[in-house]
Amino acid sequence: MRAFVKVAFVGKGGSGKTTLSSLFVRHLAGRGLPVVAIDADINQHLGVALGLDDARAAKIPALGDRLTELKEHLRGANPRISSASAMAKTTPPGAGSRLLRFRGDDPFHEAGQEVDGVTLLATGPFNDDDLGVACYHSKTGAVELYLNHLVDGPGEYVVVDMTAGADTFASGLFTRFDLMFLVAEPTRKGVGVYRQYTEYARDYDVAIRVVGNKVQSEEDVAYLREHVGDDLLTWLGQSAAVRALEQGRHGAVLEDGNAAALDRMRAEVDGRVKDWDRFQRQAVEFHVKNARAWASRAAGEDLEAQVDLDFHFPGAADAAYSG
């Protein structure tokens, strides 16, 4: 049976993570596999990378602008959550919460744009109204809520293009993924990001695999392997096909070596095994940490009381969803 997989693409700005995440999404969808892609980068480019023109990409409803509606849906009849305004981005599901089905009938997926068999969701850009009064985490909070409540099934892929840099670790969002692909160039800055990420993730059993990008020689591969060791999964080289896609020209065939790298990435993804109990346990851990640090004070109530310690995700096989 195929794994249930939520995948993040992370890395420093300019590493090519949006390009690689779009290639991976296309790779899956081109084989008839169901994919939800989420643009969670402060620079919203995934839609264009997947083939939308700028105008269509800009019209995708921003999840970050609909947080109250999304929270109201998710809290459902959960008596531990007093209101949507008291629901934090880290609030885990409990008895009475509405869980989400992959590509289900809910406010998250209804906001999606279909692109060549892919359901594309977007957090939305950081706009003028946010300047000076908000941080981008208020946008990515919608992704954390989505992943916290999603029960994905066999062979269903969720691929998230994350914001660049260490912001990935600014909340418990990084624990919501079954696998993180860290896109790294064969440079000191590229491998420096790897060291930073592995240090942050070390105590949380988060799987990180490095995908080299813009590799031009065996020396580049050797450099990456020297600095990231066995975490180097695969690498992609310069690509005329990718350049054609970025220029809006379609139909170019990806080079054999780069296509093989995407196959290797998919094999790594399919080898993951879901641990639902750990998934919920980590959600609770970060919610309690968040509540004690600032969220309870901001909400004016004890948000630790939102935790339902008796809650367990339904097995994906029986799909006993609420709502």
CB 112 within 8 Å of CB 36: yes
Backbone angles phi, psi at 51, to 5 degrees: 115, 0
For residue 283 the two structure tokens come to 């959600």
Question: How far apart (Å, rounded) are the C-alpha atoms in residues 262 and 268?
Answer: 10
Report CA 141 to chain centroid distance, whole Å.
Answer: 11
Mean pLDDT, 10 residues at a time, over the chain (323 residues)? Answer: 76 91 96 96 91 92 94 97 95 96 96 96 72 51 94 92 77 88 94 87 88 96 96 94 83 90 96 88 94 94 97 62 37
Question: How far apart (Å, rounded) are the C-alpha atoms in residues 153 and 276?
Answer: 12
- pTM confidence score: 0.92
Strands 113-115 and 118-122, bridge-based pairing:
antiparallel
Q: In the prediction, which pLDDT does 193 show?
A: 87
CB 209 within 8 Å of CB 238: no
DSSP annotation string for 74-103: HHTT-TT---GGG--TTPPP-TTPPPEETT
**CATH topology assigned to domain 4-320:** Rossmann fold (3.40.50)
Backbone angles phi, psi at 39, to 5 degrees: -90, 105
Q: In the prediction, which pLDDT does 20 show?
A: 96
Cα-Cα-Cα-Cα torsion 76, 315, 152, 61, nearest 10 degrees, comes to 0
Q: In the prediction, which pLDDT does 126 show?
A: 61
Q: In the prediction, which pLDDT does 303 show?
A: 97
List the domain boundaries for the chain: 4-320
